[in-house]
Amino acid sequence: MTVRIANAAGFWGDYPDATERLLASGAEFEYLQLEYLAEVTMGILDRLRDRDPEKGYATDFVEYVIAEHLADLVDREVRIVTNAGGLNPSSCAARVREHAAEQGVDVTVATVTGDDITDQLDRLHARHGLEPFEDDTRYEDVADDVVTAAAYLGAFPVAAALDSGADVVITGRVVDPALALGPLIHEYEWGREQYDRLAAGIVAGHLIECGTQVTGGNSTREWETIEYDDVGYPIVAVEPDGEIQLTKPDGTGGEVSRATVAQQLVYEIGDPQAYLTPDVAADFTAPEITEVGGDTVAITGCEGTAPPDSYKVSVHFENGYRVAGNMLYSRPDALAKAKRAASVIETRIEDRGLTVWDTRAEFVGHNAAHGPAAPARDNHNEVLLRFAARGPEREDLRRLGTEFAPLSLAGPPSVTGLTDSGRPRPRPIIDVWPTLVPKSVVDPEVSVDE
């Protein structure tokens, strides 16, 4: 027996036709995993839910996966596991059920919730003392501005949802690899102390969670030769003993090699010998990665140890406003013109008495990516000035947004592009304050409704 798990979304904003392409490829798999939630996504979902209480989930999942392909996936007996529920898994599940009814598809939908602990933060802080683990910011510094807080749940609630017969499992916040580990726990009945097996599931899930980033996308190795027009989405085949093979559909672009897999393995992991999840601490230095041909790589030797006794929690809070505008200057002296324009804006901020926390001028085409490490040169054909500021008052940032357009007449010459559309408008900043809470205070819940 081998369990095959395909990915068709690495973030909310990935190709909307990924599921269509995966199904059209003829690739075979038992599970379809779709990962939508980055930190920035949670802030976006909060704003969407504020506007409409029925929103707060990744609508691409419903619009492009369920509405278009649910019947086909059910016919193929493919089960779906996704964190598209975001801040509102129940509403997302309701939309899935509506589409299933419209299509005449008999489907069982489950949600995994309990991650949202926003209303418990003050009580948890009073009882346990919430501490930061990235900087010195205290909970008291952000408490009044909190908009949402989510604990990163593990894979066993996902497995429980599948145990209950769910065809579609929709979660809120879980650790990304749980979307793959959950099906493996369900299929192979791995126990909570089978740490090497659980680590293999975490490795498999981590490798495919970013979609095509493991199949050649964003690869730093020989990118000139990679076919990017149709990069194949990854599929992992996992054996009961934890051995993994990773591949992509035949006839698709991209590349699966030791290099692409190794690059994804070390992506966003912190300590490589202790990648901490609620279910296991995985040692990412242990796996052996071997090319077996045909855009297929084997991963063996996964090892793990006992997990921590806490959940990571991301607390999202409002932290002022930001505004940004762009102006494109052409040669000659494009860089000097862009720098002069930035200086004018800085002076106008001071003259108008606008309150800002900080400003940033980037000179795209010169050193926006590498800063002072960029080679010195001044013969650019054009330079894009991107000027941004943060501050506590929306009105001051709105006024700053009016400072860009006048420079088309009152500033340096040869400005050929001005902002994106009209005057830049201030936008709220949603920052993240990470902390830890004891597992005992979080109660994951699985709800199943046929």
| Strand 168-171 relative to strand 79-82, pairing | parallel
Handedness of CA 194, 195, 197, 202 (dihedral sign): positive
Mean pLDDT in residue range 70-88: 98
Residue pLDDT, tens place only, 255-297: 999 999 999 999 999 999 999 999 999 999 999 999 998 999 9
DSSP string across 415-441: EEEESSSSS---EEEEEEEEEEEEGGG
At the top level of CATH, the class of 319-432 is alpha beta
Tell me 308's DSSP state: P
Cα–Cα–Cα angle for 314, 320, 324, rounded to 5 degrees: 110
Band (248; pLDDT cuts 50, 70, 90): very high
Residue pLDDT, tens place only, 199-240: 999 999 999 999 999 999 998 877 888 889 999 999 999 999
Residue pLDDT, tens place only, 113-157: 999 999 999 999 999 999 998 788 999 999 999 999 999 999 999
Q: Where are the domains of the chain?
A: 3-115+152-308, 319-432
